[in-house]
Chains A and B, each alone.
Chain A
């Protein structure tokens, strides 16, 4: 459990972060969403003390983070940034080994861990490991950045716009991969994004920030169905509310008995993907892989709280 207690960061008259309290359950993903200048990146950097707060403090599994040297704290917290910040003079393997080396792990343990992480992120240890960052594609660099952050099994992973530099296709793939990895490892993640759809897709709880304050902190469903302020409503976007809501529901939840013709939907599909497929194929119902079907009526019923 990570606790942010009344955190504030003031720069002269500017209140970049203003009395923010949040708690992040172990093993869950919290997304901080806001427009630029809302203080969301500052808030993230207060957690690993890249910035020291004006007031308030952070607890990491019950321990006050002010009680340890900042560099030790940072070795316990993974940090992923938009431009990935890979060390250009080190190979991929050496980059991933950064924190384990700082912690003085034995060499063979580091080597095994680097290999394990490269595999986890579907990078081939033999070909990608010895390469230098400039020899990688954008998507590969992003994954190496995540691998480096995960290397020493951090208690918390901080991600600042981790997919911001990727094109939409790669971004969708990277988001799905992150969710899968998070579920496999049970990582605790605090993620910053300006993209509400990304926040809804990836997180268990969303904190909406504006002018240094948290306007609403709730589950994606709560944010979508009961936006606390006009700002949150604007950010959710009224035009796509129903689709966002459907994207939270697994299609299998809406399955009913019976058969239907047409291209079967994968069992991992969300209700929003199911509706999209129905509209596109102009079908009343579509079969679900492995049995059952999903009807248009069920989807329309599910599309609002």
Chain B
């Protein structure tokens, strides 16, 4: 895998976040006459960081829950819960995040919490399904050897099964993270801080330059994170 395209992209993004003025000539044609070219109601850098924090705040618990659930339903004690878990995580993914926001705002109020919940539910399925696949793909002879050498179930899990399943699980986390990066933009509808704010401001003021900078920033973040995950999982294989 060539790394320089990702590095160029990263440099361009950092330049834009730290010195947005440099990009004014590029974006000016998209902005209406006399309107600001660069979003100015909040710093782009701080919005980007808030956006990433929102995604991380949803993905870390989603990963922990989905992996734990995936492990649990493969144990004899949890086997009976497999169909139910599939339905629940599947529902979490198919239920539109916008609807989750609409339903939870009355309970949780405006701001970060409804968005975190929507992203959390949305992220469960890819991680859960990949965890199941990763554990099914373990070589039977290796699992047999782990039992045969006298490892306890816990030792088998931590020393053999999880390390071998990790690359595939990480692929699931990557998919979920990339999806939730773009999905997080709708959080701005309920006033969660993030890059969605820039896009929505652009839409309401018919300023295409805002829409473009918000959209491109989210896309670039997604590409970079996907690359980072791919690198990590390749290193673990």
Contacts and interface: CB of A to CB of B under 8 A. Distances in A.
Interface in A93-127: 98-99, 102
B146 A87 contact: yes
A181 interface: no
Most chain B CB neighbours (cut-off 10 Å) among A50, A75, A79: A79
A117 to B, nearest CB: 14
A292 to B, nearest CB: 47
A75 B148 contact: no
Contacts of B149: 74-75, 79, 98-99, 102, 148
A22 interface: no
Interface residues of B, number: 17
B147 A74 contact: yes
A219 B141 CA distance: 32
B142 interface: yes
A72 B139 CA distance: 24
Interface stretch (B61-69, B80-88, B150-158, B197-205): B150-158
Contacts of A48: 148
B150 A87 contact: no
Contacts of B142: 85-88
Given A74-B150, A88-B164, A89-B163, A102 B145 contact: no
Nearest to A72: B150
Interface string A19-58: 0000000000000000000000000000010100000000
B40 interface: no
B155 A102 contact: yes
Given A74-B149, A87-B160, A88-B164, A50 B155 contact: no
Interface in B121-153: 139, 141-152
A48 B160 CA distance: 20
A147 to B, nearest CB: 12
Nearest to B153: A71
Main secondary structure of the interface of B (DSSP, over half): helix
A98 B142 CA distance: 13
Interface in A54-100: 71-76, 79, 81-89, 98-99
Interface in A166-222: none
Contacts of B163: 89
Nearest to A74: B150
Contacts of B148: 48, 50, 74, 79, 81, 85
A73 B163 CA distance: 25
Given A81-B141, A85-B142, A75 B150 contact: yes
Contacts of B147: 50, 74
A201 B149 CA distance: 27
A216 to B, nearest CB: 28
A84 B139 CA distance: 11
A148 B150 CA distance: 12
A135 to B, nearest CB: 14
The 6 closest A-B pairs by CB, nearest first: A85-B145, A74-B150, A75-B150, A79-B148, A83-B141, A85-B141
Given A79-B149, A85-B141, A85-B145, 13 more contacts: A50-B144, A71-B151, A74-B149, A75-B149, A79-B145, A81-B141, A81-B144, A81-B145, A82-B141, A85-B139, A85-B148, A88-B142, A102-B150
28 contacts: A48-B148, A50-B144, A50-B147, A71-B150, A71-B151, A72-B150, A74-B150, A79-B145, A79-B148, A81-B144, A81-B148, A83-B139, A83-B141, A84-B145, A85-B141, A85-B143, A85-B148, A86-B142, A86-B145, A87-B142, A87-B145, A88-B139, A88-B164, A89-B160, A98-B149, A99-B150, A102-B150, A102-B155
